[in-house]
Amino acid sequence: MDISYILNILGEDREEYYGAIAPPVIQSSNFAFPTVASLRGAFERETQAHLYTRGNNPTVEILRKKLAALAGAEDALVLGSGAAAMATAVIASVKAGDHIICVRKPYSWTEKLCRVILKRFGVETTFVDGLTTESYTEAVRDNTKLLILESPNTFTFELQDLRALASSARQRGITTIIDNTYSTPIGQRCINMGIDLEIHSASKYLNGHSDVIAGVIIGSHERIGAIYRSEFMNLGAIISPHDAWLMLRGLRTLPIRMRQIGETTEAVVAFLKGHPAVRSVLYAWDPDSPQIALARQQMTWSGGLFSIHLATDDISRIEKFCEALQYFKMAVSWGGHESLIMPACAFYPESYDGVRTYPPDLVRLYIGLESAEVLISDLKQALTCVV
Ligand SMILES: *Cc1c(COP(=O)(O)O)cnc(C)c1O
């Protein structure tokens, strides 16, 4: 389906609301029926009917249709956060006694869900190095029910071979879930590659304006219907109609934001790669990356997120660099209009001397919608603090 059609027309019944270009926020918890027969009919078609906003809401429904179509899938659910989307989809896919295989270093709350919460309910998880498909097949057990992928992850950007893993999991009857937040539904076509469920934190690119927390689960009618009728309604982690409306507004400009961010990121990465204060750049789309061929095979967009190793281990210099930046804000998250920086040294107490998953010279950058010239000159002046 054409992206312009999806973003501008699909799902919008403008004659139902006075021809308004922007859809209304249907801020109602509840919907009334004139006859018993129509109420009965709504119960029968509960995944599509407008009955109660914990299930479906007309403003949210426009978003569901657009997100499913963007991913080339049949259906989508929108939730109150990306973490809720992942937890809802994972809990719907396992029961006590099952085994999960998850990529190593996934999003921190995905790891906690598996390592801590599901363990309490008798579900075990093996974390594997995602670089080879064999690392997964070797971890498969008779009770393996779910494979959780995140390609690339969002701090060191290792990729997994999605086509190979989806087909090998399918042959064994194992469900596949991917966190595709890094790439967006149009930057990496996971459903087309055979993945069963695609998760997004819509708080990032999909909303794109740093003013909404939301999440998405995308998949077939069958899988989404099953999740809707059980975990989605039971956990009840829905998005509000107002946040859905803000997200619809953000989504209209997704392709132009992506194009701009991609162009600027390439210019900034090229600048940093040649700079003496930068030891190396970790970027999924770097022509010198060991996984560049795989990136080109399965991703159609490079993204605005990457990390650098600074050419110093002196934490006070690294702190000075971060604090000297004017345009890059120091913050968690990413995917909005504003460029960001996230130093790994902030993850540990000041006097920490234990094992670090992420070394202190590692700094993550996110490129927003500012111009490449402004961002490069900001980095140039701040990098003088490093060496
Ligand atoms: C932010 C993020 C999440 C969690 O999303 P929230 O909307 O913050 O709950 C999950 N996965 C990735 C890769 C993220 O970046």
Measured in angstroms, how far is the CA atom of residue 86 from the centroid of ligand 1?
Answer: 9
Find out whether the beta carbon of 210 lies less than 6 Å from any atom of ligand 1. no
Closest among 185, 216, 205 to 300, alpha carbons compared: 185
Query: What domain range is 122 assigned to?
Result: 3-251
Q: Are residues 14 and 141 in the same domain?
A: yes
pLDDT at 49: 92
Find out whether the beta carbon of 58 lies less than 6 Å from any atom of ligand 1. no
> Both tokens of residue 162?
């999605």
d(CA 298, CA 161): 8
Share of the chain above pLDDT 70, in %: 100
Instruction: Output b/e per residue, 183-192; b: 16+ Cβ within 10 A.
Output: bbbbbbbbbe
What sign results for the dihedral spanned by CA atoms 310, 314, 318, 324?
negative
Find out whether the beta carbon of 215 lies less than 6 Å from any atom of ligand 1. yes
Find out whether the beta carbon of 81 lies less than 6 Å from any atom of ligand 1. yes
Ligand 1 atom with the smallest distance to the CA of 86 is: 10
Q: Looking at the predicted structure, is the pLDDT value of residue 48 above 90?
A: no
Residue 305 corresponds to which amino acid?
L
pLDDT at 64: 98
Q: How many other CB atoms are found less than 10 A from the CB of residue 345?
A: 21
Q: How many other CB atoms are found less than 10 A from the CB of residue 288?
A: 9
- Given pLDDT bands bounded at 50, 70 and 90, which one contains residue 188? very high
Find out whether the beta carbon of 203 lies less than 6 Å from any atom of ligand 1. yes
Measured in angstroms, how far is the CA atom of residue 204 from the centroid of ligand 1?
Answer: 8
End-to-end CA distance of the chain: 51
Q: Are residues 220 and 310 in the same domain?
A: no
Give every strand in the sheet of 329-330, ordered side by side: 278-282, 305-310, 362-366, 340-343, 329-330
Domain edge (last residue) among 251, 269, 286: 251
Q: What is the pLDDT of residues 20-43, one digit of tens each?
A: 999 999 999 999 999 999 999 999
Q: What is the pLDDT of residues 306-364, one digit of tens each?
A: 999 999 999 999 999 999 999 999 999 999 999 999 999 999 998 888 888 899 999 99
Domain edge (last residue) among 226, 251, 276: 251
Q: Looking at the predicted structure, is the pLDDT value of residue 178 above 90?
A: yes
Domain edge (last residue) among 251, 274, 305: 251
Q: Are residues 237 and 272 in the same domain?
A: no
Q: Are residues 41 and 150 in the same domain?
A: yes
- Given pLDDT bands bounded at 50, 70 and 90, which one contains residue 131? confident
Measured in angstroms, how far is the CA atom of residue 109 from the centroid of ligand 1?
Answer: 8
Measured in angstroms, how far is the CA atom of residue 82 from the centroid of ligand 1?
Answer: 5
Ligand 1 atom 8: residue of nearest CA: 82
pLDDT at 351: 85
d(CA 86, CA 124): 17
Find out whether the beta carbon of 181 lies less than 6 Å from any atom of ligand 1. yes
Q: Are residues 109 and 236 in the same domain?
A: yes
User: What DSSP string describes 211-251?
Assistant: ----EEEEE-HHHHHHHIIIIIHHH--BPPHHHHHHHHHHH
Element at 330 (helix H, strand E) = strand 329-330
Ligand 1 atom 6: residue of nearest CA: 82
The enclosing domain of 262 has a CATH number of: 3.90.1150.10
Instruction: Output b/e per residue, 229-267; b: 16+ Cβ within 10 A.
Output: eebbeebebbbbbebbbbbbebbeebbebbebbbebbbe
pLDDT at 353: 86
Find out whether the beta carbon of 154 lies less than 6 Å from any atom of ligand 1. yes
Phi, psi torsion values for 343, nearest 5 degrees: -80, 130
Q: How many other CB atoms are found less than 10 A from the CB of residue 158?
A: 20
The enclosing domain of 49 has a CATH number of: 3.40.640.10
d(CA 81, CA 203): 7
Q: Looking at the predicted structure, is the pLDDT value of residue 199 above 90?
A: yes
Residue positions counted in the chain? 387
pTM metric for this prediction: 0.97
Average the pLDDT over 71-82 and give the result.
98
pLDDT at 357: 86
d(CA 278, CA 303): 20
Q: Are residues 292 and 217 in the same domain?
A: no
Q: Are residues 235 and 304 in the same domain?
A: no
Q: What is the pLDDT of residues 224-266, one digit of tens each?
A: 999 999 999 999 999 999 999 999 999 999 999 999 999 999 9
> Both tokens of residue 268?
């900034």
Residues 6+ apart with CB under 8 A from 115: 125
Where does residue 376 fall: left (phi above 0), alpha (psi -120 to 50 degrees), or beta otherwise? alpha
Q: Determine the residue of 90, 109, 239 to mutate for testing ligand 1's pocket, defined as the one with the most ligand atoms within 8 A of the Cβ atom.
A: 109
What's the structural domain count of the chain?
Answer: 2
CB 367 within 8 A of CB 339: yes
- Given pLDDT bands bounded at 50, 70 and 90, which one contains residue 132? confident
Closest among 366, 381, 384, 176 to 283, alpha carbons compared: 366
- Given pLDDT bands bounded at 50, 70 and 90, which one contains residue 186? very high
Q: Determine the residue of 153, 180, 204 to mutate for testing ligand 1's pocket, defined as the one with the most ligand atoms within 8 A of the Cβ atom.
A: 204
Q: Are residues 240 and 264 in the same domain?
A: no
d(CA 262, CA 133): 28
